[in-house]
Structure 1
C-alpha cells in the first residue's frame, strides 16, 4: 500500500479556472468598446463647442476616466482567466460596436446625443454578454454589474443636458 507524503500533497494543485472561447470573445468585445468609448470621449472633449461648453468639456473627462479604468479592469480580469486582451488600434477600429464620431467641431447639444449613444452602446454590449458570462463565471459578472451601473449613470447624467422634463423619450416611469 502506497503512503501519501506531505510533499506529494504539496505538488497536487487544483487546475485554475480558464475562460471558454465564448467568454473570451464576450470580454474582448466589451474591452474594445470601452477603449473606443475612451477615445470617442477624448475626441468629443477636444472638439465640443457651444452653449454650456465648459461643463460638458469637464463631464467628458469624467466619462473618459471611467472608460479607461473599466477597460483596464476588463483586460486585467481577462488575463486572470487566461485570455489575452487585444487593445491595438486596428482591433478597436475593426471590432468596436460604437457609432463613429465626427472629426470636426461638434455643437454641445449634438455632442450630448452622440456621447449618450456611445454610452448606451457600451451598456448594450455589457447587457448582451452578461448572462453568458454569469453562467460561466459569476465573479466576472459582478464586474459587469459595476460597469453597467456606472456607464448607465453617466449616460443619464450627460443625456439630461438635452432632455425636456416629462416630454423626452423615453419617458420616466411614474407610480
Structure 2
C-alpha cells in the first residue's frame, strides 16, 4: 500500500505569504498538539477521579473536554485552511506535547482538580504566547486563539474556585 504525503496543499490562492504562513501554521500546530494531549489528559482524569464530590467534577471535566476538542478541531482546520497539513497523530502528540504527564490509576478529587487546573494553565500560557506572536502575522488565527483562551480561562476559574 502506497501513501503520498504532502506538506502543502496545491491551492492557487494562498491566504498568507509563504514565510508568514509557515510561522503561523507552526504556532498553530504546536498548540494543536497540546490541545489533543489536553483532551486525552482530561478524559484520563474524568474516568479515574474518586472521592467526595466525584460526580460534579466528573461532569465538569466532560464540559472542559468538549471545549478542548472543539478548539483542537478549529485549530486543525485553520492549519489546513492556510494550506498546511494538520498533524494530530498519536506519535506526534507523544513526541511534541509540552504538557505534564497525568498520573495513571485513581486520583482523588482534590488532586484531580489541582492537576487539571495546572494543565489548563499550561495550555492557556501556550495559547497566550502564540496570540502575542500572531498579532503581527495573522489576525484571524490570533482571534481564534483569543476566543479559545477565553473559554479555557473560564473553565480554569471554575476549577480553581473549588480549591479555596
TM-score range, shorter chain: 0.7 to 0.9
- For residue 87 of structure 1, what is the aligned residue in structure 2? 88
CA contact (8 A) 2:21 2:82 kept: no
Report the counterpart of residue 64 of structure 1 in structure 2. Answer: 65
Contact 2:49–2:109 (CA<8 Å) still a contact in 1? yes
**Pick from 5, 8, 14: which aligns with 1:16?**
14
Q: Please name the residue that 1:11 is paired with.
A: none
Query: Take 2:113 and 2:41, find their aligned partners in 1: how far apart are those partners?
Result: 12
Greater mean deviation of Cα atoms: 14-23 or 106-115: 14-23
Under a length normalisation based on structure 1, what TM-score does the superposition of the two structures give? 0.82
Partner of 1:109: 110
Deviation of the 1:131 alpha carbon? 2.1
| Conservation of the 8 A alpha-carbon contact between 2:14 and 2:83 | no
- How many residues of Structure 1 are paired with residues of Structure 2 in the alignment? 150
Higher RCO (Cα < 8 Å, 6 or more apart):
2
Unaligned runs of 5+ residues in structure 2 are 1-11
TM-score (norm 2): 0.88
Using the alignment, how far apart are the partners of 1:123 and 1:84 within structure 2?
Answer: 24
CA distance in structure 2 between the partners assigned to 1:128 and 1:45 by the alignment:
28
- Say whether residues 1:31 and 2:32 are aligned partners: yes
1:15 CA drift (Å):
3.7
- Residues of 2 paired with 1:140 and 1:26: CA distance? 10
**What's the secondary structure of 1:100's corresponding residue?**
coil
Distance apart, 1:133 and its partner CA: 1.3
Higher mean displacement: 73-82 or 128-137: 128-137
* CA-based RMSD: 1.2
Larger Rg: 1
Gaps of 5+ in 1: 1-13, 164-175
